[in-house]
Amino acid sequence: MHNILVTGGAGYIGSHTCVELLNSEYNIVVIDNYKNSWEESLKSVQKITGRIFKYYECDIKDSEKLEAIFKKHKINAVIHFAGLKSVAQSNIFPLDYYLNNVWGTINLCRIMKKFFVKKIVFSSSATVYGDSPEIPFKEDTKKGKLSSVYGKTKLMVEEILRDIKKSDNEWSISILRYFNPVGAHESGLIGENPKGIPNNLMPFISQVAADILPELTIFSDDYETPDGTCIRDYIHVVDLAKGHILALNKILINNTFDVYNLGSGVGHSVLELVSAFEKACLTTVKYKIGPRRSGDLPMLYADTTKAKKELCFCASSDIEKMCKDTFNWQNKNKSKYYKK
Ligand code: NAD
Ligand code: UDP
């Protein structure tokens, strides 16, 4: 059985992927510095799967600790989620973002190389396409201008991984560009628990529906889209997690360098998401229309042909299911939200 090191495994996407890895009979070792997560989510992963695994509080920048973990466990491949992810914060604290996301990844790869572990799946993002007008985005779409430091850290890491592969063909690498992950595990035991007021649409809607926040502000309805609100590609986090297993299976068998879009391939507007939430959760979501948010693109969604063809990837959950699972998670974890 392969041993997979999961960095950032206590986080939102990481914890859901840990569940799928364990359900797919992989062994896992998790590291996380809990900067944006809690150890509790790893205990929930054990509860959901009925499987025990080792996890460590460890920063990917901490070479000594990381080496000790590689020494102790025979790692076959790494799934690398650890990173800071706030677009707004990245522009305020660029050094923190470059240090954590770029230098952290370099450090991880150096240590992987030292221990002859040359297989990695990396969490990238649709933000690397910048403001490219070619919608839907294909993996080889010419990139537009990037407006955030966060997006630049993802693009830099992609380039670093490309250069590593060029320099040493033994590496096998899969870069996954996520679109908008939402939803939660059906059990309601793991999900997204943003600290403070959420920046993203789905957790915001869900907190309005639960009366934690008074009202949603929709960032404008004057875009050139059918209902005037922005269109995004929402993907259920469990579908996304399953995509990692497919990518991992491939890098373990083949010696490869791949880039894949992981999205649903379908675009939904803000108003569509609000009304889907109301319908799926039998609730109302109070909203008002406000001004545009700087840097927002009117429309983006993925062309998922490549992931479908090469990985047999399929995002099967629709937006109703995404909304239902989000609300279920939130309702089962009310104390977490109210205590903030
Ligand atoms: P998250 O914040 O829930 O998870 C990231 C985890 O990494 C957290 O548990 C955090 O504590 C940990 N971490 C951060 N820096 C670390 C470090 N130096 N050492 C060890 N652990 C560290 O975020 P997520 O939504 O699960 O995202 C996972 C990855 O996917 C991130 O790299 C993110 O940039 C990327 N991504 C996320 C989205 C999204 O919308 N959620 C979209 C595209 C890409
Ligand atoms: N959005 C909104 N109100 C909010 C948060 C988001 O109207 O409080 C809109 C935002 O303008 C965008 C869409 O919802 O068009 C998705 O935003 P999110 O931040 O979740 O994802 P991203 O813009 O990073 O794709």
pLDDT in tens, the chain (340 residues): 899 999 999 999 999 999 999 999 899 999 999 999 999 999 999 999 999 999 999 999 999 999 999 999 999 999 999 999 999 899 999 999 999 999 999 999 999 999 999 999 999 999 999 999 999 999 999 999 998 999 999 999 999 999 999 999 999 999 999 999 999 999 999 999 877 888 899 999 999 998 999 999 999 999 999 999 999 999 999 999 999 999 999 999 999 999 999 999 999 999 999 999 999 999 999 999 999 998 899 999 999 999 999 999 999 999 999 999 999 999 998 766 544 3
For the CA of 13, the closest atom of ligand 1 is: 26
Residue 340's pLDDT is 38
Nearest CA to ligand 1 atom 15: 83
Q: Which pLDDT score is estimated for 197?
A: 85
Residue nearest to atom 18 of ligand 2 (CA): 200
| Bridge pairing between strands 27-32 and 3-7 | parallel
How far does residue 323's CA lie from ligand 2's centre (Å)? 15
Nearest protein Cα to ligand 1, atom 21: 32
pLDDT score recorded for residue 339: 43
pLDDT given at position 325: 98
Contact status, residue 234 vs residue 268, Cβ threshold 8 Å:
yes
Residue 295 is predicted with a pLDDT of 85
Q: Which residues are catalytic?
A: 150
pLDDT of 337 reads 55
User: What does the alpha-carbon distance between residue 189 and residue 184 come to, in Å, rounded to a whole number?
Assistant: 8
How far, CA to CA in Å, does 103 sit from each of 14, 23, 79, 94, 201? Answer: 20, 32, 17, 13, 30
Per-residue pLDDT, 336: 67
Pairing of strands 172-178, 287-290: unpaired
Sign of CA dihedral 79, 129, 134, 291: positive
Cβ–ligand 2 distance for 287 under 6 Å, the answer no
CB 152 within 8 A of CB 146: yes
Q: Which ligand is nearest to the CA of 104?
A: 1
Work out the angle between the directed axes of helices 104-114 and 149-167 (0-180°, nearest 10): 20
Q: 293 CA distance to ligand 2 centroid (A)?
A: 8
Ligand 2 center from residue 241 Cα (angstroms): 22
